[in-house]
Structures are given as C-alpha cells and as structure tokens.
A and B are shown apart, each in its own frame.
Chain A
Amino acid sequence: MTELLITIISTGFFATVIRTTTPLLLATLGGLIADLSGALNVALEGMMLIGCLTAVIVSVYAPWYVAVLSGVGAGALLGLLMAFFAYRLKADIILVGFAINILAAGGTVFALALATGGDKGTSINLQSQAIPPVDLTFLSGIPIIGPTLSAMLTGQSVVTWIAAFLVFAIWYFLYRTPWGLWLRGVGEYPAAPEAAGIPVTKVRTWSLVVSGALAGLGGAQLAMFNYVGFTRDMTGGRGFIALGAVLLGARHPVGATIAALLFGAFDAFAIVLPGLYNWMPSELIRMIPFIVTIVALISFSVRAQRALALRGVQ
C-alpha cells in the first residue's frame, strides 16, 4: 500500500495523469457542447478514432501542426456530416452516431491497410511524428514550489495547454456570450429560441461541428503524443467514457474537467498498477473506468431526479 501511495503522490504520476487526461478532456468538452445543444453525441468515439488516423497519416508528410489541424478538420467534417443527416434529413441522431462509429471502426482499418501496404494492426512502419512537448524548466527558478511545478508541467504536449485554455474559453463562451446562451437555450427548450428568431438548426449544426473538432483534437493528441502512431481501435471506448464524464461533471466545463481528470487518473493507475502489483489482473484494471462511468451515470441521474423533485416537477 505504501508503494502505491508514494507512486500516486509523486510528481511523475501527476504528470502521467495530465497526459492521460488530455485526450479524454477534449472528447468530454466535445460531448459537453453537443449535450448542451440537445444532442447526445455517441459518435465521439468514431470521431476520435478518425482524428487519430488522419493525424498520424498526415504527420508522415507534413509538419506536426498541420497533422493536428487535419485531425481537428476530420472531426469537424464528421460533425457536419452528422448534423446534415440528423437535422437536414431528419435521421435519428443516435443512429447517425453509430453509423459514424461503424464507419470509423472499419474505415480506419481500411485506410491503415492502404497506407501501410497491408498492415491492419498498427502504423508501426509509418514514420509518423509526435507533438512537441513544452519546456517549462524555467519554472524551477521559483522558490519552494518551483522544482515540483517544473517536474509536473514540463514535457506536456502543446495540445494539453490548448485543452486547458479551451476549458476556460468554452466556459466563457457558454456563460458570458450571447451565442453561449443561444446554445444552452436550444438544448433546454428549442421552441422558445425558435420563437425568438434564433436559428436553432444552425446553432445545433455548429455545436456538432465544434464537438467533432474537439474530439478530433483529442484523437490527434492520443495518436501523436500519448502514443506515437496508430493502432486499430486505439481509442478503446474513450469517446463513450467521455459521455459519462459529461454527466458526472454536471454538464459544466469545470465539472467536466474534474470528471475527465478522475478518469485520467484511473487511466494512469492502469499504467502504474501492473508494475507495482503484478498479481492484479490488467483486465480488471482496464475495467475500472467503465465501472466508474456506470456509477457516475447512476449518481448523476439520481441527483438530477432529486433536483427535479425538489423543484416539484415530478
């Protein structure tokens, strides 16, 4: 037990948590935007996966930032596709989402096999690049906390810092700008903004595009920093966990960040635990985030029901 505690309170573990949280946080923010606009974006998983592969393949031929941007673009395009089918052609958004997931699961393996010349498992023989880490060693100049801060924060990806900024930006957008109010209004009760002359479908479409772009950015981070290179099904349910994290975070950007950090911590556990306790089956450790998501989901629903009862709605 002591080894575990020592590992967890070490700066190295904290750095690992930040690293594992970043893709999940971006997907969670994407899920949050879609959720607040009134759409459950079940396609986050597929959008991330396609973002991963796009970023990896582009990074073979172009600088890393172009690769990241193309991952973002791929996600945004999928969001647009989803909006087109769900809002323009009136398909059920859940079915559209699963169609995108199926497209991603098959399409990425197909494209990977073409790009690598037949390898359907990994992109190991592609020379893909990584996102550069940000050097913050100058922080160790700060007295007392300096060295700790530097150890925790140095070497994180550029995208991590973008993600941290996005949490603030999204909060500001949602709660301090008129468009944020529109978005929340559209998700809450679409008839009212419609009557007020707000372009409901446009707001919803943009929400899905942004949601997809965020998931794509998360995918790029996953395949160009957390792991360098693409592996079949490498998102491993992160997009679905993000849906749980949105609810656990009470549908608020800050809450969503805390929830994503929690799941990121479990991810980091899964990395350090096998080294500490080799009797513990890795399958059980990998199950933990999924079990936590179910618990989170139930606790959110109970809380929401209680809030409704308090307001006397039910």
Chain B
Amino acid sequence: MSGNVPTIDENSRWAAFRREVGRALGAAIMALIVAFIVVLFTSKTPLDAMMQLLTAPASKPRTIGLWIDDAAKLTVTGLAFSLVFQARQFAMGVQGQVYIGAIATSYVVLGPLGSTWAAIPLGLTAAMLAGAIYGFLPGIAKARLGANEIVSSLMLNYIAIELCNLLMRTDLPKASAGVLTSVDFPKEAVFPPLIPNTRLDLGIGLAIIAVVVVWFALYRTAWGLKLRLVGHNAKFAEYAGIRPTFIMVSAMAASGALGGLLGAMFVQGQTYGKLTVLFEGGIAFEGILVAIVARSRPLAVPIVALAYGYLRQGAQLMNIRTDVPAEVIGVVTAIIILLVSSSFSLNFITRLFRRRDRATSVPAGSVVK
C-alpha cells in the first residue's frame, strides 16, 4: 500500500510490488486450498470440480467473453471502492448506486431519446449523475451531521433495491404483465458488441477509461493529492489547509458516479439490454476484495479484477458442469479478504520462503489504516 513505505527509488518500489504480489498470491493459494478441502468433502467428483474451477473460463471463446465481461464490471466496482478507501471512508454504497444508476439509464433510454444516437451517452451521463447524487448523500450526512457513513450507505443500498423493485412492478414498461423485466432497450441504446456473439462490448472500453481517469485524478491532480493526504492523516491535512470534509464528500460522490456507471454497464450491456429486478447479483460488494487486494491502486485494480473474475467465472461453470454450487466462491472471497487485509499472509509467506527482506517487512496494516 502506498502509505506504508515511502517509495521514492525504483528499488524499494519494486520490492513493495513484489511483496504485494506475493501476499495476494499467497492468500489466493490459501483460499483455494480451503475451497479444495470443502469440495473434497462435499463433491462426488472433487478433482473434476476443481479442474472446472481453474480451467473452464479460458476453455472457449464464449467463456472468455463471460470472464472479460465480469472482469470489466469488477474493475469498475473495485475502482469505486478504491476511491473511498484511499480517502479512508468506508462507504459501502456501490450496490445502491448500481441500482439507482441503472434506473436512471432505463428511464432515459426508454424515453423519447432512447432510439437516437444520443441514447448511449445520455444513458451513461444519467447513470453517473444519479450514482454521484446517491454517493453524495451519505457523504454530506457524515460531513454535516456526523452520521456514520457505513450504516447510512448500507441502508441506501436496501432502499435502492426496493425502489428498483417498485418501479419495475408499477411504472416501467414491461413486455407482459407479471414479469419482472422491462421491455428490451432500443437497439441504439445497447452497447455494440466488440466481437459479434460474445458479451464483449463497450463496457470494457468504459472500464479501461475509468481506470485511467481514476489513476489520473488520484495521482496527477491536486484533488487526488489532497484526497490521499486526507486518507493518510486527516489531522495533518487539515493543518495543511485542506478541508477534509470537502475531500471526503467529493470522493464519495465520485465513487458514486463510478457505481452509477456500473449500473449503466449492466443494463445497457449485451448481457441484459434491459432492466430486471436484482440484476446485480452481489457483484458490487466483491469490489471490496478487488480494492483490498489491489491496495486501492487504480492501475492494479484491472489486474486483480481479471484474476478474481476468472475464479468467479470458473465457479459459475463448475456449478453448471459438476455438483458443486457456485456459491463456494463466497468462501474463497472471504478468506482472501481476511488474509490480505491482515498481517497473516505476510508472515505466512515469509515463513514459507524464508525471504531475506524481513527487515523491510513493515507491519502490514490494512489499506485504509
């Protein structure tokens, strides 16, 4: 993580990078071993199940498409969490922002402008605006009234989900009564596929742009410097003349915009092309894992998202092809978060490989500490 070691010369930066990669890999291996033990006790064909988990996503062009699509979404939610984690805020509202963003997009593209060329840019803008407002709310409640952002953002998640259910049932046009999906969006409003017959669409481009923009904002602008300063030491930042509340609220709003963008990527993407209830399926919270393992570094986020997306997709395919439910991945996710955010994996790796750089192994705090 950026705060532990002042990484000035290239050598120490390289060492820090190696250490982080070691930690992440160590945690992933530990988690997979635990998953294997679980599968061993519960599956009739444990080896086949593990093979599916580890190899299936890369086996066919179609599954590679699914994997990359997942990775793009994980990248955006990982970025959203990274932004608030760098400012040392625990806003957990990405899930709610995804729903609010998707609702906003749906209203725009199912409106009169939905079948024009403006549908995609307008849909994205609406989603990002709605998400930013939704992220702003817990921020301003904390800055002005001191309300804990964790609890308020979690409550907003549930409210957004219920709102989506409500609008779906009562207001949005549906193909037939009783179904819980909207009519298909107009063709102009759905992201064009980059490769025909796969789920690879404009969403990947958006994810890459988001990575670059967040990196630039955090590491090449005054706002980003202030944000990281506030995250490291809010008192110091305040003495330096930075208003921590402004930074805090703007970081949460910016993160909200990313959450909203993810909502648009869901409903405007090739996967759906329409709004449905509960479309998000818990992926938003997995951004916590991506951000933690990437140490909230925007440039590391897509790499972690690719690796984690691979496992996630592998679990889905394992679910289809063997008798092991995909939800076993929840165990893997939890273990990885626990190990990477604690000092456990570091000790484990050092003991395992008897690394020499014990002296440089700083006490590994979590990303945000």
**Chain A interface residues (CB < 8 Å from chain B):** 40, 42, 85, 89-92, 94-96, 98-107, 109-110, 113-114, 120, 236-237, 240-241, 243-244, 247, 281, 283-284, 286-287, 290-291, 293-294, 297-298, 300-302, 304-305
Q: Any chain A CB within 8 A of the CB of B270?
A: no
Sample (26) of A-B pairs whose CB atoms are under 8 Å apart: A40-B148, A42-B154, A85-B342, A90-B366, A92-B366, A92-B368, A92-B369, A94-B90, A95-B367, A98-B285, A99-B337, A102-B337, A106-B329, A107-B327, A107-B330, A109-B327, A237-B154, A247-B151, A290-B155, A290-B156, A290-B162, A293-B151, A294-B141, A297-B148, A297-B151, A305-B146
Is the CB–CB distance between B147 and A297 below 8 Å?
Answer: yes
Q: Any chain A CB within 8 A of the CB of B121?
A: no
Is the CB–CB distance between B325 and A114 below 8 Å?
Answer: yes
Binds A, one of B64-72, B97-105, B163-171: B163-171
Give B368's nearest chain A residue, CB to CB.
Answer: A92
Is the CB–CB distance between B148 and A301 below 8 Å?
Answer: yes
Interface 0/1 of B335-348, CB less than 8 Å to A: 10110011110000
Q: In angstroms, how far is the closest chain B Cβ from the Cβ of A54?
A: 15
A-B contact count (CB 8 A): 157
Return the contact of A301 from the options B146, B282, B328, B338 (Cβ within 8 A).
B146
Give A114's nearest chain B residue, CB to CB.
Answer: B42
Which residues of chain A are within 8 angstroms of B156 by Cβ–Cβ distance? 290, 294
Is the CB–CB distance between A237 and B145 below 8 Å?
Answer: no
Which residues of chain B are within 8 angstroms of A241 by Cβ–Cβ distance? 155
Q: A240-B155, A287-B162, A294-B152 are known contacts. Are A113 and B325 too (CB-CB below 8 A)?
A: yes
Is the CB–CB distance between A294 and B155 below 8 Å?
Answer: yes
Most B CB atoms within 10 A — which of A42, A101, A110? A110
Is the CB–CB distance between B42 and A95 below 8 Å?
Answer: no
Q: Any chain A CB within 8 A of the CB of B201?
A: no
Is the CB–CB distance between B337 and A240 below 8 Å?
Answer: no
Is the CB–CB distance between A90 and B141 below 8 Å?
Answer: no
Which residues of chain B are within 8 angstroms of A104 by Cβ–Cβ distance? 330
Q: Any chain A CB within 8 A of the CB of B24?
A: no
Return the contact of B288 from the options A98, A106, A243 (Cβ within 8 A).
A98
Return the contact of B331 from the options A90, A103, A286, A302 (Cβ within 8 A).
A103
Give B332's nearest chain A residue, CB to CB.
Answer: A106
Which residues of chain B are within 8 angstroms of A85 by Cβ–Cβ distance? 338, 341-342, 344
Q: Which 3 A-B pairs have the closest CB atoms?
A: A106-B330, A91-B342, A103-B334
Return the contact of B92 from the options A98, A105, A301 (Cβ within 8 A).
A98
Is the CB–CB distance between A298 and B141 below 8 Å?
Answer: yes
Which residues of chain A are within 8 angstroms of B367 by Cβ–Cβ distance? 92, 95
Give A302's nearest chain B residue, CB to CB.
Answer: B145
Which residues of chain A are within 8 angstroms of B146 by Cβ–Cβ distance? 301-302, 304-305
Which residues of chain A are within 8 angstroms of B166 by Cβ–Cβ distance? 281, 283-284
Give B333's nearest chain A residue, CB to CB.
Answer: A102
Give the complex CA separation of A206 and B206 in angstroms. Answer: 47
Which residues of chain B are within 8 angstroms of A293 by Cβ–Cβ distance? 151, 155
Is the CB–CB distance between A92 and B163 below 8 Å?
Answer: no
Give the complex CA separation of A181 and B367 in angstroms. Answer: 33
Which residues of chain A are within 8 angstroms of B42 by Cβ–Cβ distance? 114
Q: Any chain A CB within 8 A of the CB of B150?
A: yes
Interface SS majority for chain A:
helix
Most B CB atoms within 10 A — which of A100, A105, A114, A283? A283
A91-B343, A120-B327 known; 15 other A-B pairs, CB under 8 Å?
A95-B288, A95-B367, A96-B341, A99-B337, A100-B334, A102-B285, A102-B337, A103-B333, A283-B165, A290-B155, A293-B155, A297-B148, A297-B155, A298-B145, A304-B146
Is the CB–CB distance between B330 and A287 below 8 Å?
Answer: no
Is the CB–CB distance between B325 and A109 below 8 Å?
Answer: yes
Give A285's nearest chain B residue, CB to CB.
Answer: B162
Which residues of chain A are within 8 angstroms of B163 by Cβ–Cβ distance? 283, 287
Return the contact of A92 from the options B162, B282, B331, B341 (Cβ within 8 A).
B341
Q: In angstroms, how far is the closest chain B Cβ from the Cβ of A241?
A: 8
Is the CB–CB distance between A290 and B159 below 8 Å?
Answer: yes
Is the CB–CB distance between B292 and A89 below 8 Å?
Answer: no
Give B325's nearest chain A residue, CB to CB.
Answer: A113
Q: In angstroms, how far is the closest chain A Cβ from the Cβ of B148?
A: 6
Which residues of chain B are within 8 angstroms of A89 by Cβ–Cβ distance? 342-344
Is the CB–CB distance between B159 and A287 below 8 Å?
Answer: yes
Return the contact of B328 from the options A92, A106, A291 (Cβ within 8 A).
A106
Q: Any chain A CB within 8 A of the CB of B178?
A: no
Is the CB–CB distance between B151 and A244 below 8 Å?
Answer: yes
Give the complex CA separation of A95 and B367 in angstroms. Answer: 10
Is the CB–CB distance between B363 and A90 below 8 Å?
Answer: yes
Give the complex CA separation of A143 and B330 in angstroms. Answer: 57
Give B90's nearest chain A residue, CB to CB.
Answer: A94
Most B CB atoms within 10 A — which of A98, A284, A286, A298? A98
Give A81's nearest chain B residue, CB to CB.
Answer: B338
Q: A120-B325, A283-B169, A298-B145 are known contacts. Are A106 and B341 too (CB-CB below 8 A)?
A: no
Give A242's nearest chain B residue, CB to CB.
Answer: B151
Is the CB–CB distance between B334 and A94 below 8 Å?
Answer: no
Which residues of chain A are within 8 angstroms of B289 by Cβ–Cβ distance? 102
Give B42's nearest chain A residue, CB to CB.
Answer: A114
Give B166's nearest chain A residue, CB to CB.
Answer: A283
Most B CB atoms within 10 A — which of A95, A96, A98, A101? A95
